[in-house]
Amino acid sequence: MTDDTTITPVNAKDRTARLHPRVVGDTLFFDRAECHALGDALHTEYVSNKPYPHIVIDDLLPHDLLHRILEDFPKREKGRFDDDHSRLKTGYQMEKITSPLITNVINALNSSPFLEFLERMTGIKGLITDPHQAGGGLHETARGGHLSIHADFNTHAHLRTRRRMNLILFLNENWQDEYGGALELWETDMSAKTKSVMPVIGRAVVFNTESDTFHGHPDPLTCPEDVYRRSLALYYYTVPGDAHALERSHSTNFQRRPGSSDKRQIRSKLRELAIDLTPPALYRAFKKK
């Protein structure tokens, strides 16, 4: 485990460059030229950042708009995830989001100008969005909850597209450092934590999604009972030039931190091994039943 002297904490506003979307009622519009210019300006930083390509952007959206999103946030539901790796967390996908404002913000972050901003910043061309919002949408974790260090699933099961990057926009007003909940970025060999990003309102983290881009907030939250760690998560994909060239599909890949009591991931990995060892024709026959 690394000591704190090797971690790059991101706790204060550290960026003045940002987008200035036009807000008309509940609708958000990004300027294409501004998206191109900022994407180009941030490209070198994005691809150079360690432990893998990523960037932290404060004030991605206007704060008055973010406050309105919080006012429209869905009514708290029981956590959908409560296991060794993801505890006291729930998610609200499109069918659970009834706010026109939140729906329009998601649409704007999936719009052509914003996709071109991401493409220029990351260097990844041909980005597409996910109309199903698999795993994405609004996320909320209660006191005591956590999300173990992991690399995300790599293939969209329905679209058969390759997942390329995540955007996480934090929605936590007056979040205190002592609450915990920092997003941790770990070395691709899990040897050390490299960066810790506090989830304050308006802060966005964009990062590449590969089989070894490990991240999470693994320690239980210590926020008050009536405070939740909230975020908006969107995922972006590309279509492989050859559908048969897709790397082996895998589910979320949870990892143990060195020297920790994190639980091992066994059941899902045994299932993936069984699938790998099953002849394709036999697997397809059983899957249809």
Q: What is the pLDDT of residues 138-149, one digit of tens each?
A: 999 999 999 999
Got the DSSP string for 221-279? Answer: P-S-TT--EEEEEEEEEE--SSGGGPPPP---EE-PPTTS-PPP--HHHHHHHHHHHS-
Q: What is the pLDDT of residues 64-102, one digit of tens each?
A: 999 999 999 999 887 677 778 888 999 998 888 999 999
In the predicted model, what is the mean pLDDT of the chain? 87
Mean pLDDT of 187-211: 97
Percentage of the chain beyond pLDDT 70 is 82
CA gap 6, 26 in Å, rounded = 43
Angle at which helices 100-109 and 63-71 cross, to 10°: 130
Homologous superfamily of 4-264: q2cbj1_9rhob like domain (2.60.120.620)
**Position 162 pLDDT exceeds 70:** yes
- Domain definitions of the chain by residue range: 4-264
pTM of the model: 0.81
Using 50, 70 and 90 to split pLDDT, how confident is the model at 8? very low
Using 50, 70 and 90 to split pLDDT, how confident is the model at 249? low
Mean pLDDT of 112-133: 97
